[in-house]
Amino acid sequence: MSQSEQKVLAVVSIMGFVLNIVLGMLGTIAEENSKFQLVSWRLGDTSAVMASLAASRYVALRGFHVASTGLILLGIVHGISAAGSGIEQLYLDSVSLALPMVPALILISWCGLFPKWSRVTGLLLIPLWIVMYYRVVFAGLSWMHVTTYLSFLLTGLLELIWGILIWRDYKSAITNQTPQK
């Protein structure tokens, strides 16, 4: 793959994760179940799908295939979330995105491009996703709760960090002329 294609992957991953955070936060401060909230969340998740897949391709090119699989799964998680943001309401079934988020975070923790602290942070987010899922599915409590917001916000921030780390890896590789796989 050419250096320009690698650059595009790095840029798309960071920009998609930035858009996800910005649009996710805009949706969070909007009126609950308003069209603005639901569209913001859907566009943010769509951006995260794009970013996750670009990041997956990039880390695979660098030889981290297990983490690449996790990033593909992360894209699927964001796709489930986007599908759950209906036009009129947030669909409760979309809470099922918490289930594939767990293996996605585990698989991404194998990425040697990311420092250990960021990989451990991803693993530490797993209980938050499990608690969110339990609250909604088994306890029958509201989807709109601090555990939900924290799950999405902290994971979104970590995704943004991963995007920055991918960009830094790309810049370092071209500066050092490190051959990329």
Q: Highest mean pLDDT: which of 7-16, 129-138, 147-156? A: 7-16
CATH number, residue 116: 1.25.40
Asked, for residue 181, whether it belongs to a domain, the answer is: no
Residue 51 falls inside a structural domain = yes
Q: Is residue 156 part of a domain?
A: yes
Q: pLDDT digits over 2-15, tens only?
A: 888 999 999 999 99
Question: Which band of pLDDT confidence, cut at 50, 70 and 90, is reported for residue 35?
Answer: confident
Residue 19 lies inside a defined structural domain of this protein: yes
For 147, residues 6+ apart whose C-beta sits below 8 A from its C-beta are 128, 131, 132, 135
Report the range of poorest mean pLDDT among 78-87, 96-105, 160-169. Answer: 78-87
* Residue 86 clears pLDDT 90, i.e. is over it: no
Domain of residue 11 covers 3-176
pLDDT: is 98 or 179 the higher one? Answer: 98
Domain count for the chain? 1
**Model-level pTM?**
0.90
Residue 104 maps to a domain: yes
Helix boundaries (H) for 30-111: 35-61, 65-84, 98-108
* Model confidence band, residue 144 (pLDDT cutoffs 50, 70, 90): low
